[in-house]
Amino acid sequence: MDDRTYVIHEYDPVKRREYYLKTRDLKGLVPQPTVKTEPPRSAIAVKPEPNRQQRQEERRRKIEAQVDALKIRLKKLREVLAEQTKAAKARSGVRTPAKKSPAHEEGDKTAPKQTATQKADAAEKSKEYYEKNKDQILADEFKSLTAKIKTIQERIAKMRTETSSAGAKKIQNKK
């Protein structure tokens, strides 16, 4: 019939159990020699981490320093912008109207007056809110200052290009 020969494997449960007991404590794959493995955490000298409050104070000081630097920069940029606008108005012949003093301006007289206890309660609530959210308030102030600086820088650049183009037009008109 068939000329094929079959190999018959006999299953021996005793031998299988002995083999299993001998090889069951395998350690897994051996790491490749090119891959560096990190030593266990206990072998690394662990630096004590500053607690959360210290990290927050450090972050707050850093943001406050950045905010102060941005305020100074914004002040300088506003001065430059004021000089540029004054020079541009002088060139165009526009006069600036005299400013009214704050005493002449009328305040909001429709707001009801608060009693002393209401003022104290409002001040206390404001202080609690500030203490809770001072990190967020500083971050928001940082963002707003950077946005203001960016807009002022754009306005200065625009004025400078207008000034240079106006000067070029005057030279062409004189010829």
- At 120 the pLDDT is 92
Tell me the domain boundaries of the chain.
54-87+122-169
- Listed in sequence order, the residues at least 6 apart from 66 whose beta carbon sits closer than 8 Å to its beta carbon are 142
- Whether residue 27 contacts residue 102, with contact meaning beta carbons closer than 8 Å, is answered with no
What is the amino acid identity at position 137?
I
For 113-126, letters b (16+ CB in 10 Å) and e give eeeeeeeeeeeeee
pLDDT lower than 50: segments of the chain: none
What token pair was written down for 135? 């990190």
Please count the residues of the chain: 175
Q: Over the stretch 16-42, which tens digit does the pLDDT of each residue have? A: 999 888 888 766 677 676 656 666 666
> Exposed (0-12), middle (13-18) or buried (19+): which is 71, by Cβ within 10 Å?
middle
Whole-number Å distance between alpha carbons of 175 and 156: 29
The rounded distance, in Å, linking the Cα atoms of 71 and 68 is 5
d(CA 111, CA 128) in angstroms, rounded, equals: 24
pLDDT value of residue 121: 92
The pair of structure tokens assigned to 40 is 């266990």
Left (φ > 0), alpha (ψ -120 to 50) or beta: where does 26 sit? beta
